[in-house]
Amino acid sequence: MANNVSEPLFHIVKRDNLDRKKAWMIRAAAIVFAIIVSSILTTILTDDNPIKVLFTMAGGAFGTLRKTMVTLQNLAILLIISLALTPAFKMRFWNIGGEGQVLIGGLAAAACMELMGDRLPAGLSVPNWLIMVLMVISSILAGALWGFIPAVLKAKWNTNETLSTLMMNYIAIQLVAYFVIKWEVPKGAGKIGIINQDTNLGWLPQLFGSKYMLSIVLAVLVTIGMFIYLTYSKHGYEIAVVGESERTARYVGMKVKKVIIRTMLLSGGLCGLAGLLLVGSINHTITTTISNGQGFTAVMVSWLAKFNPFTMVFTALLIVFLGRGAGEISTKFELNQSFSDIVTGIILFFIIGCEFFINYKINFRKPAAAAAHEDVKTAEPTDAETQAVEAEPTDAETQTVPDESMSPQKSVASDEDRVEETVAGKEDDTDDSVH
């Protein structure tokens, strides 16, 4: 009975180790294709030159000094959140709760500004420096608490950290929504508005005379500090070992539960710092969408950078550039915000999808005729191979003793024997004649 099962059209095979240069070439090609597809889509909808669309994207991110500073500020916030998630990811603790940790840190900062600012009864006042100190402490502690809860659940009862951190996001969103309604100005507005707009109490100071520089400077410091922490500290080494194998970490004497909880406290605390910057330095208000989904975007930034703090600078810049460029396109060509999201989604799809081709390769099925021809070639030796095999001496032949008749000594001895036989024959003839 004939076998009707056909070979699959292609096989997906995991790559051993792809050269880093080739990997970055694949990523660069993915970005180019993403921009081309986005440009074609925009051209179809706007009837404009795709080159003009590309320049519009660049202008949206770096067109003016103010746009450049806003881009760098957005980069700083996204970078801090990405760096905050990195220790947990390197430990193979999938902290998807960055969004909630940022929100709860921002809520803590907003609470300090609200309760110690203009809402205080007449005659009572709190020094601005004390409000800012309390904002910093409360934001970091709130974010750390939001990371501590799923860490304890994981360490004690081995719960799924992806689900627990994700659920904490929704709790944080609802808490922020509750206090927005509680503090709304005016009543029924559904939003708080600018907090302490008249007194600027709790507004974090400006650096170098710019309201954008505080976030940028802190992002630089956090990037350097995180690189040192993960690369050269004992805690960073423990994180790497636990990420590779918890069993190995326990075998060498590491307290895995302690490492998990400590790392998540750090992760949540840094996310809380990002929330502090969003409320106290950039927006001076709190909403449920103040982080604009950067807690989830940071997951992709950290993953694309392979958890390298310095590489994250470039991946975060790419994401921010594409986002602001897409927004500029929708504004310039009078398209709605949904189009900006579509363009961003297309670009992110290509960027994420390219990682598949970095880790795997596709081997397509060869045509039946070519496959059969190759099978015949491998099964039957060629004429040249047959002649080579026949010409080759066997092991027995190569080990035989050389013919002694060809030896010079043997030929000389044979000549001497013939001479002696001739002499002996003559002597016999002489004896016969005498008799």
At 188-219, the pLDDT tens digits run 777 888 998 888 889 999 998 888 999 999 99
At 291-305, the pLDDT tens digits run 988 999 999 899 888
Q: What is the DSSP string of 324-363?
A: HHHHHHHHHTT--HHHHHHHHHHHHHHHHHHHHHHHEEEE
Residue with tokens 């709130």: 142
In this prediction, residue 367 carries a pLDDT of 67
At 403-415, the pLDDT tens digits run 444 444 444 444 5
In this prediction, residue 409 carries a pLDDT of 47
CATH 1.10.12 fits 49-332, yes or no: no
Q: Over the range 368-383, which residues count as b (16 or more CB within 10 Å of their CB) and which as e?
A: eeeeeeeeeeeeeeee
In this prediction, residue 342 carries a pLDDT of 81
Cβ-based neighbours of 292, under 8 Å, separated by 6 or more: none
At 122-157, the pLDDT tens digits run 667 889 999 999 999 999 999 999 999 999 999 999
Round to whole Å and give the CA distance between 230 and 226.
Answer: 6
- Kindly state the average pLDDT of the residues 61-82: 94
H or E segment at 408?
helix 408-434
Residue with tokens 């999808």: 353
Among 333, 291, 360, 409, CA closest to 41: 333
198 phi, psi to nearest 5 deg: -80, -40
Q: % helix / strand / coil in the chain, to the nearest 5? A: 70, 5, 25
Within a 10 A sphere around the Cβ of 128, how many other Cβ atoms?
Answer: 17
Strands (E), 243-385: 360-364
In this prediction, residue 262 carries a pLDDT of 96
What amino acid occupies position 356?
A: F
User: Which is more confidently placed, 399 or 57?
Assistant: 57
Position 248 confidence tier, pLDDT thresholds 50, 70, 90: very high
H or E segment at 10?
strand 10-14
- Kindly state the average pLDDT of the residues 82-89: 96
What are the extents of the domains in the chain? 49-332, 370-434
**What average pLDDT is seen over the chain?**
83
